[in-house]
Amino acid sequence: MSNIKLTSKIFLACVALTIFILIANVSALGVTPGRKIIDFSSAQEKEGSFKIINSENRQLNLQISVKGDLASSFVIAEQSLSIEAGQEKDVSYKINLPADLSPGTHVQEITILERADNQEGSISAFVGVVTQVYVKVPYPGKYAEAELNIESAELAQEVSFAIAVSNLGQEDLKDVGAQIEIYNSNGEKVAVISTNKISVVAGEKKELASSWKADVTAGLYSAKASVSYGANAIPLEKAFSIGEQVLDLNSVIVKDFSLGGIAKFEMDVQNKWGEDIKTVYSQTNVFDKNNKLIVDFKSPAEDIAALSNRTLFSYWDTEGLSKGVYDAVIYLRYGEKFSKKSVQFEVDSNSLRAIGLGYVISGSGKNSSSNLNSFLIIIIIVLVLLNLLWFIIFRKRAKK
């Protein structure tokens, strides 16, 4: 009887492993680029496009819509379309920009949703992704906006402060820097630090950085920063915690890469907290040798169960990209919090390698990866059949 129980457990384990491998090879709907930036100068018609990637193992019927203050100015070439399993499709659009646009960044969201007619004849939405169009209208003279990002850290470790500075004016900015004051939960100042100084030309976005060793007790802290450029200053404030690192990025995998094509990133994210974390997504910033942001792409948001792992998928269209090594920052965001990893992407003709974290599989591995999966599935099926045969034999012997 014990042999039968053991055989049953082996049989169930083989079935579960087969299902896991099959599920692991199914991903989701994707879109690239995640964001397109249009620099506005006068009334004009702009053209753009985005690529929809169907990584599902079935045909998808999709509906495309635009949300934003310029939505009525968009003309989408195809608002309803179907994409076969494993296929990609380019969708073009035009946007007629009015002459009286107000200064600032006008964010437009192009949403791609799966649609299916239900029995009542109405429309139900399932899979969905978003690509953004930023229309940047410069301010007269000098004008900048900034965003403060703080990575929470363990006790006695370095807390990283990063301030993204966007020059939205018509003039270049020089000697841009920031001073950061750190306060504990009682409102007491515990440290004052300064960032590096940079120059930011009109229309560019660059980053100020600094760090602070957290030789303090665990708990909640806040940072008050003042970003200065000339006679102007931008006040920023944000809370962070010491002694709690919730999310961790274990690996970055890019399979079947070819320079000029679309790189599909699979990021294994671990929830190290004892509770579920909702709406987790990755944001990847890639910089050139002059520290200028060249691409910013995100994954769809996912919920990660307590003390478990989940794979986040995102896409980077590398058309026009040159071979080389690029600095990158990967953020794992959830609510107002985030964790951050600094890496480098080594880009070659048939490989995209993450230096400093995880590993990747080069583009030449497409057939071998597929063959390996098929080989594993065949082996598991054989094992399942053998275990089933043993189960029948032991059962007959038990009856005798």
pLDDT for position 235: 98
Cα gap 308→362, rounded to integer Å: 27
| Percentage of the chain exceeding pLDDT 90 | 55
Among 117-131, 136-150, 376-390, the range with the most confident prediction by mean pLDDT is: 136-150
- 62/384: higher pLDDT: 62
What the block records as the tokens of 389 is 């045969």
Closest among 78, 25, 33, 20 to 286, alpha carbons compared: 33
Q: What is the mean pLDDT of residues 178-190?
A: 95
- Where residue 220 falls among pLDDT bands split at 50, 70, 90? confident
Does pLDDT of 332 surpass 60?
A: yes
**What does the pLDDT read at residue 29?**
84
Rounded CA-CA distance 82/66 in Å is 18
Which of 174-183, 191-200, 359-368 has the weakest average pLDDT? 359-368
Name the pLDDT band for 368 (thresholds 50, 70, 90): very low
pLDDT value of position 397: 65
Vertex 19: Cα angle to 15 and 21 (nearest 5): 115
> What would the mean pLDDT of 367-392 be, rounded to a whole number?
61
The amino acid sitting at 172 is: D
Pick 80 or 41 by higher pLDDT. 80
Amino acid 245: pLDDT: 61
Residue 169, sorted as left (phi over 0), alpha (psi -120 to 50) or beta, turns out to be beta
pLDDT of residue 370: 42
The stretch 79-91 carries a mean pLDDT of 93
pLDDT-derived band at 290, boundaries 50, 70, 90: confident
Per residue in 291-305, pLDDT tens? Answer: 888 999 999 999 999
CA dist list (Å): 370 to 105, 113, 145, 315, 394: 44, 29, 47, 20, 36
DSSP alpha helix (H) spans, 91-221:
none
When mean pLDDT is compared across 40-54, 107-121, 157-171, 187-201, the lowest value belongs to: 107-121
Q: How far is 59 from 86, CA to CA, in rounded Å?
A: 8
**pTM (2 d.p.):** 0.61
Position 206, amino acid:
K
Quick check: 60 and 54 in contact, CB under 8 A?
yes
Q: With bands split at pLDDT 50, 70 and 90, how would you rate the model's confidence at 396?
A: low
User: Residue 58 above 60 pLDDT?
Assistant: yes
pLDDT tier, 164 (very low <50, low <70, confident <90, very high otherwise): very high
* Higher-pLDDT residue of 239, 178: 178
Residue 105: CA count within 13 A, CB half-sphere? 18
Mean pLDDT (the chain) is 83
- Average pLDDT on 172-177 reads 96
How sure is the predictor about 148, in pLDDT bands with cuts at 50, 70 and 90? very high
41 versus 4: the higher-pLDDT residue is: 41
The yes-or-no verdict on residue 371 having pLDDT over 80 is no
Check residue 203 and give its pLDDT.
Answer: 87
For the stretch 306-330, pLDDT in tens is: 889 999 999 999 989 999 999 999 9
Per DSSP, the three-state class of 11 is helix
Reported confidence tier of residue 25, pLDDT bands at 50, 70, 90 = very low
